[in-house]
Amino acid sequence: MDRDTDRYRNLTRRTLLLGGAKLGLLSTLVARMYYLQVVDSGRYQVLADENRINLRLIAPSRGQILDRSGVSLAINNQNFRVIVTAEQAVRKLEETLDKLSGIVPLTEADIRRILREVQRKRAFVPVTIKENLTWDQVATVEVNTPDLPGVSIDVGEIRSYPFSEAAAHVLGYVGAVAESELTGDPVLSLPGFRIGKNGVEKAQEAVLRGTAGTFQAEVNSVGRVIRELGREEGHAGREVTLTIDIGLQQYVQQRLGDQLSAAAVVMDVHTGGVYALASNPSFDPNNFTMGINAELWEELLSTPTAPLTNKVIAGQYPPGSTFKMMVAMAALESGAITPHHTVFCPGYMELGDHSFHCWKKGGHGTMDVVNGFAHSCDVFFFDVGHRVGIDKIAAMCRRFGIGERLGLDLPGERPGLVPTREWKLAHTGVSWQPGETLVAAIGQGYVLATPLQLVTMTARLVNGGYAVVPHLTKAIEGGEPERTSWPTIGIQRSNLELVVKGMVAVGRPGGTAYSVQIPDPSMEFGGKTGTAQVRRIGTAERNNGVRNNLDLPWRERDHALFVGFAPVSAPRYACAVIVEHGGDHTATPIARDILWECQKRDIARVMFGGPSADAGPAAEPPAIGIITTAAGSSPRKKGG
């Protein structure tokens, strides 16, 4: 009896313990369910909605780029592409691609790429097979879709450049977003999205890109879209209107085409608007839109004439005799010489135990400022440079835009170099030597300038001494208007007039550019020829006769330069031309033709109507016009 009682008590105790444990577990489960379904229900409802509703971005249309007259330079064309969805392909994908290759050419590399992407992505995610299809290819694919399971046509946009090589260095190009270029903008992560990589496309990327739209879709548990719930369109990029005249741009690019490597730029001397900016050889930016192939990319990089380089802003060259205006301005402004200063040129100048030679072996005789420019007498400017000194020359250069970045709205501008005593000591540890001033006075030695700086210098000389700044952007849709008024650089007008008179004399009888002067007196141009040596001429060669450029390898020939303006009576256009290793005076006739074309286009607009080139602000600063005959009447001589 006692044993039965003990057994009953043990069983009851165990039953109570087990029942209590079960009750505790049940209470915990009920409490947890209450917390999840009541207390924290809002959070889980949000998570469920986010899993059910997928928010996707819609790529915005890129803004167009227009020339000053409204001609489209960069546009968006329809991009028909053929895609394949693996889960819809009832037969093997390889068989489908093989059949499709009879309609749309596919290489083995294309097929390998497609198969790799299909393996990496989910079966319901479309994979691009080929882009930029012709309308005939699209129609043929559509007709054959019953025999091409999983294959369909999709429509997007592709950047296009109607003028291809003519405006490549101005516009640049677009390309796929690199990992290093990913920023906070989520649109950059969209597959196939492209951004500006160079030129205006890069400089105005923020304006041209636009803002993305959104697309709400209901998706299932594996992410497949079931239906569209809503759509909010984004905003297309804004239009950018440039100061470029595409007709003139095409002419300038074509005119440079006969040279292996050259550059030219034209700007309005009053507004600073750049009408043409060309670098030769050029490239087709359309090749970059879809992704350039490795062979072409390697060819562009390895070509000695550097087709990808914008030589107008990134080419740094010894300016040669085109630098002499800065030497004269520095000397006149500082009082180192007077307007009546003369120098006798016997063909050389001695300084210490060194002789510095003029380009004309027999010398020019007595030269004043105007004739010094007209004949490009090196000895005259040796003397002037020695009197004024390198530091004052450098200071004057900066007032005219030489030796520093000008801030053109293009990426890649380089600063050039105008040395000073302090600069040389800091960079070489050696003091400046007097002979180096003489070399710098004719634009050689350490001096480097870009064509953009040379054209800006010319504009500031002939517009009355106003600090015009070159720019390419005329207007941005909804933005501020183009700036067209500029402060003065504080130069005495009489000194400006004397230097400009010397530039006019260059194109008059006896001047180094007289033989190529425009025959119409109303279109007469002034300017300065320049030749920059790229090799050292030794004493022995000088005594035996300097070798002709045509007898030298291309890379050892002198650079040819010219800076000019027109018309002489009322300057409006400034131009700078560089022909790399062009020898003697190959740049001068090119500049003449460009300045002539500028004025002929003005006449055509007046006679036949059409878009205006915009002569500048309503009240232009007083430009310098020289209409008197320059001194000197000797036959044209080689120089510069």
Higher-pLDDT residue of 379 and 110 is 379
Angle at 576 between CA 574 and CA 581, to 5 degrees: 165
Residue 122 lies in a domain: yes
pLDDT digits (tens, 9 = 90+) for 428-458: 999 999 999 999 999 999 999 999 999 999 9
Preceding omega of 519 cis (within 30 degrees of 0): no
- 436-439 long-range CB contacts below 8 Å, 24 or more apart? 436/390, 437/385, 437/386, 437/389, 437/390, 437/393, 438/349, 438/351, 438/356, 438/382, 438/385, 438/386, 439/356
What pLDDT score was predicted for residue 635?
33
Task: Among 191, 225, 242, give the residue marking a domain's end.
Answer: 242
Task: Give mean pLDDT, residues 486-497.
Answer: 96
Residue 32 lies in a domain: no
Higher-pLDDT residue of 29 and 48 is 29
Residues 476 and 542 in one domain: yes
Residue 29 lies in a domain: no
Average pLDDT, the chain: 85
What pLDDT score was predicted for residue 541?
53
Residues 6+ apart with CB under 8 A from 356: 348, 349, 350, 378, 379, 382, 435, 438, 439
- The Cα 70–Cα 611 span in angstroms is 9
Structure tokens at 511: 């001047």
What pLDDT score was predicted for residue 585?
81
What pLDDT score was predicted for residue 125?
64
Higher-pLDDT residue of 120 and 192 is 120
Give the residues across from 53 on adjacent strands. Answer: 218
Residues 237 and 258 in one domain: no
What pLDDT score was predicted for residue 114?
83
Residue 5 lies in a domain: no
Asked if 530 contacts 561 with a C-beta cutoff of 8 angstroms, the reply is: yes
Give the residues across from 72 on adjacent strands. Answer: 66
Tell me the whole-structure pTM to 2 decimals. 0.82
> To the nearest 10°, the Cα dihedral for 296, 300, 304, 309?
170
Asked if 209 contacts 195 with a C-beta cutoff of 8 angstroms, the reply is: yes
- The Cα 210–Cα 61 span in angstroms is 7
Task: Give mean pLDDT, residues 247-251.
Answer: 97
Residue 443 lies in a domain: yes
Task: Give mean pLDDT, residues 85-103.
Answer: 78
Residues 6+ apart with CB under 8 A from 380: 343, 345, 364, 367, 372
Residue 141 lies in a domain: yes
Residues 399 and 439 in one domain: yes
Collapsed DSSP state (helix, strand, coil) of residue 175: strand
198 has a pLDDT exceeding 90? yes
What pLDDT score was predicted for residue 544?
57
What single DSSP character describes residue 276? E
Per-residue confidence band for 98, with pLDDT thresholds at 50, 70 and 90: confident
What pLDDT score was predicted for residue 331?
98
Per-residue confidence band for 619, with pLDDT thresholds at 50, 70 and 90: very low
476 has a pLDDT exceeding 90? yes
What pLDDT score was predicted for residue 543?
56
Residues 183 and 257 in one domain: no
Give the residues across from 218 on adjacent strands. Answer: 53, 227
Task: Give mean pLDDT, residues 93-101.
Answer: 84
DSSP states of 462-481? HTTSB----B-EEEETTSPB
What pLDDT score was predicted for residue 95?
82
Per-residue confidence band for 83, with pLDDT thresholds at 50, 70 and 90: confident
- The Cα 332–Cα 328 span in angstroms is 6
What pLDDT score was predicted for residue 618?
36
Q: Which residues are catalytic?
A: 321
Per-residue confidence band for 638, with pLDDT thresholds at 50, 70 and 90: very low
256 has a pLDDT exceeding 50? yes
- Strand locations in 423-476 (E): 473-476
Asked if 313 contacts 455 with a C-beta cutoff of 8 angstroms, the reply is: no
Preceding omega of 611 cis (within 30 degrees of 0): no
pLDDT digits (tens, 9 = 90+) for 382-410: 999 999 999 999 999 999 999 999 999 99
Q: How many domains does the chain have?
A: 2
- The Cα 426–Cα 440 span in angstroms is 18
Q: Write the CATH number for 232.
A: 3.90.1310.10
Give the residues across from 527 on adjacent strands. Answer: 564
Task: Give mean pLDDT, residues 98-108.
Answer: 86
Higher-pLDDT residue of 357 and 220 is 357
- The Cα 399–Cα 376 span in angstroms is 23
Per-residue confidence band for 9, with pLDDT thresholds at 50, 70 and 90: low
Residues 6+ apart with CB under 8 A from 24: none
Structure tokens at 207: 């304006």
Collapsed DSSP state (helix, strand, coil) of residue 388: helix
Task: Give mean pLDDT, residues 295-318.
Answer: 92
Asked if 591 contacts 527 with a C-beta cutoff of 8 angstroms, the reply is: yes
pLDDT digits (tens, 9 = 90+) for 123-180: 766 777 887 788 888 888 888 878 888 788 877 788 999 999 999 999 999 987 877 7
Could you tell me which of 282, 278, 254, 255 has the C-alpha nearest to residue 265?
278
498 has a pLDDT exceeding 90? yes
What pLDDT score was predicted for residue 548?
65
- The Cα 177–Cα 194 span in angstroms is 6
297 has a pLDDT exceeding 90? no
What pLDDT score was predicted for residue 620?
52
Residues 234 and 263 in one domain: no
Q: Find the helix or strand (DSSP H, E) in which 249 lies.
A: helix 246-255
* Helices H / strands E in the chain, number of each: 22, 20
Tell me the residue type at 168: A
219 has a pLDDT exceeding 80? no
Q: How far is CA 223 from CA 120, 154, 364, 530, in A?
A: 15, 20, 85, 68
What pLDDT score was predicted for residue 604?
83
Q: Write the CATH number for 481.
A: 3.40.710.10
Residues 421 and 556 in one domain: yes
For 253, phi then psi, to 5°, come to: -60, -40
Task: Among 192, 208, 242, give the residue marking a domain's end.
Answer: 242
487 has a pLDDT exceeding 50? yes
- The Cα 612–Cα 482 span in angstroms is 16
Residues 444 and 573 in one domain: yes
- The Cα 586–Cα 592 span in angstroms is 11
Q: Taking the CA atoms of 213, 217, 222 and 226 in sequence, report the sign of the dihedral they define.
A: negative
- The Cα 233–Cα 98 span in angstroms is 38
Residue 300 lies in a domain: yes
Residues 210 and 268 in one domain: no
For 26, phi then psi, to 5°, come to: -65, -40
Higher-pLDDT residue of 496 and 48 is 496
Collapsed DSSP state (helix, strand, coil) of residue 529: strand
Calculate what percentage of the chain has a pLDDT beyond 70.
83
519 has a pLDDT exceeding 90? yes
Per-residue confidence band for 557, with pLDDT thresholds at 50, 70 and 90: confident
Residues 182 and 98 in one domain: yes
pLDDT digits (tens, 9 = 90+) for 407-436: 999 999 999 999 999 999 999 999 999 999
Task: Among 242, 274, 295, give the residue marking a domain's end.
Answer: 242
Structure tokens at 179: 């990992």
What pLDDT score was predicted for residue 191?
63
Q: Whole domain around residue 168: which residue ranges? A: 56-242
pLDDT digits (tens, 9 = 90+) for 609-618: 655 445 443 3
Higher-pLDDT residue of 477 and 157 is 477
Residue 94 lies in a domain: yes
Asked if 529 contacts 495 with a C-beta cutoff of 8 angstroms, the reply is: no
- The Cα 530–Cα 376 span in angstroms is 8
Residues 238 and 250 in one domain: no
What pLDDT score was predicted for residue 636?
34
Asked if 248 contacts 274 with a C-beta cutoff of 8 angstroms, the reply is: no
Residues 556 and 426 in one domain: yes
What pLDDT score was predicted for residue 547?
66
Q: 589: buried, middle or exposed (CB in 10 Å: 19+, 13-18, 0-12)?
A: middle
Tell me the residue type at 622: P
- Strand locations in 445-504 (E): 473-476
Q: How far is CA 154 from CA 125, 130, 177, 215, in A?
A: 13, 10, 22, 17
Residues 524 and 547 in one domain: yes
566 has a pLDDT exceeding 90? yes
Q: Crossing angle of helices 434-441/378-388, nearest 10°? A: 130
